[in-house]
Structure 1
Amino acid sequence: MPMDLKLGDIIQVKKNHPCGSNQFEIMRTGMDFRIRCLGCDKQVWIPRVKLEKRIKKIVERKEK
């Protein structure tokens, strides 16, 4: 069953981005996710399966 991830959630991943940050904001959901690095504002497209394996924890949830 897929994780309950929503637009605007802030997640922490296991491996750091090259800029040194490990926190990302979810910009788009679906089969592929678009996430934005909070350190350098770089946006990355990643498949749901890969993202769910890399998530360490959900730091902040956006209530809608």
Structure 2
Amino acid sequence: MPMKLNVGDIVQLKKVHPCGGDKWEIMRTGIDFRIKCLECNRQVWLPRKKLEKRIKKIISQSEQNEQ
């Protein structure tokens, strides 16, 4: 079963980005996810399966997820 991830969620990945950041904001969801590094603002597209494997923890969830 897929993880419950929404636009605006902040996640921490297992691997550190070359800029030194490991926190990412989810910009787009679906089969492919677009995530943005909160350190350098670089955007990356990843398939859902790869992203779910790389997530260490969900730091904050968007407000629409909490309601």
Fold agreement, TM-score > 0.5: yes
- TM bucket by the smaller chain? over 0.9
Residue type at the aligned position of 2:53: K
TM-score by length of 2: 0.94
TM-score, scaled relative to structure 1 = 0.99
Q: How many residues align?
A: 64
Query: How far, CA to CA, are the matches of 1:61 and 1:53 in structure 2?
Result: 18
- List, as ranges, runs of 4+ consecutive aligned residues in structure 1 with deviation greater than 4 Å: none
Give percent identity, aligned residues only: 66
RMSD: 0.4
In structure 2, C-alpha distance between the alignment counterparts of 1:61 and 1:29, rounded to whole Å: 14
Unaligned runs of 5+ in 1: none
Amino acid at match of 1:41: N
The structure with more helix, counted as a fraction of residues: 2
